[in-house]
Amino acid sequence: MAERSKSSGRRTRKVPTASIRYEDAAVREVPVRQLRLADFAESTPWRDVRSVHGMTHYSGKYSSATTGGHVVYESRLELARLLLADFDPVVRGIFAQPCRLAARVGDRVRHHVPDFLLVMRSETVRVVNVKPADRLQDPKIVEALAWPGELFRQHGWEYEVWSGADRVLLENVRFLAAYRRPGVVCEAEVERAWEEVVDGEELVLAERRLAGDRLPEEARPALMALLWSGRLTTDLSRPLSGESVLRRCA
């Protein structure tokens, strides 16, 4: 790994670069064509995220099951994309504001901070920018998002501009996220539910059978934890209900 420095200074850009900030406050500048996942180890978000009364945007820190720590976001739309990434079983790593790009675009040097960098279990890397759909009608916004995408695609990484998802899907994932943290539901209860759940069974029937002499809703948390983890699936394009059909995935 190249030596880290506090600042790279101002100079003429001959090649596109990515500046990465680390926990010790050092900043490392790497040519985009040389970027590797290892460069993001022990990195921190490029910007400090604060929530202050009167701010026009909604920012905060999300406790991620995927990373085991907090991931920052700067809008409700970013939080929605973050929730979906945390829920996605193929995502194994999430970095918010992973770097600051600098590149000569046309006759001037441009800068850009992507919203998220997602690492897939296949080792594929996807860079994500989140932008409301109505703002994508602005040619300046489209152009500002296009050149970073071209850089990352040339590097062999995926690039995504995300503007939202189905409302019902998001509501279901938000509900299931309450069961994402280890220890929220007794692990023994989760494993017992996994052993006894029947593929193709409706949720209401599974709850009644697993509860035994207890109230049916007492069996629900273990099933919700299995849905969050991806060991069980159901059609999340429809509101979760007793009629939701459970499918085993492992």
Cα–Cα nearest to 202, from 177, 234, 178, 224: 234
Cα–Cα nearest to 149, from 124, 129, 125, 119: 129
Residue 115 DSSP symbol: S
Q: What is the pLDDT, as a whole number, of residue 106?
A: 87
Q: What is the pLDDT, as a whole number, of residue 24?
A: 94
Q: What is the pLDDT, as a whole number, of residue 55?
A: 53
pLDDT tens-digit profile, the chain (250 residues): 444 544 444 445 679 999 999 999 999 999 999 999 999 999 999 998 765 555 556 899 999 999 999 999 999 999 999 999 999 999 999 999 999 999 999 889 999 999 999 999 999 999 999 999 999 999 999 999 999 999 999 999 999 999 999 999 999 999 999 999 988 999 999 999 999 999 999 999 999 999 999 999 999 999 999 999 999 999 999 999 999 999 999 6
Q: Give me the residue label for tokens 């880290």.
A: 4
What lies within 8 Å, CB to CB, of 145 at 6+ separation is 129, 131, 161
Contact status, residue 125 vs residue 116, Cβ threshold 8 Å? no
Cα angle at 69 between 168 and 27, to 5 degrees? 115
Q: How far apart are CA 67 and CA 73, in angstroms?
A: 14
**Secondary structure of residue 159 in the 3-state scheme:** strand
Buried b (16+ CB within 10 A) or exposed e, 187-214: eebbeebbeebeeebbbeebbeebeeee
- How remote is the C-alpha of 162 from its chain's centroid? 12
Show the domains of the chain with their CATH numbers. Answer: 17-162 (3.40.1350.10), 167-248 (1.10.10)
Phi and psi at 75, nearest 5°, equal -160, 165
Distances (CA, A) of 11 to 7, 62, 100, 108, 133: 12, 36, 15, 12, 35
Q: What is the pLDDT, as a whole number, of residue 58?
A: 82
Q: Answer whether 0.85 is exceeded by the pTM.
A: yes
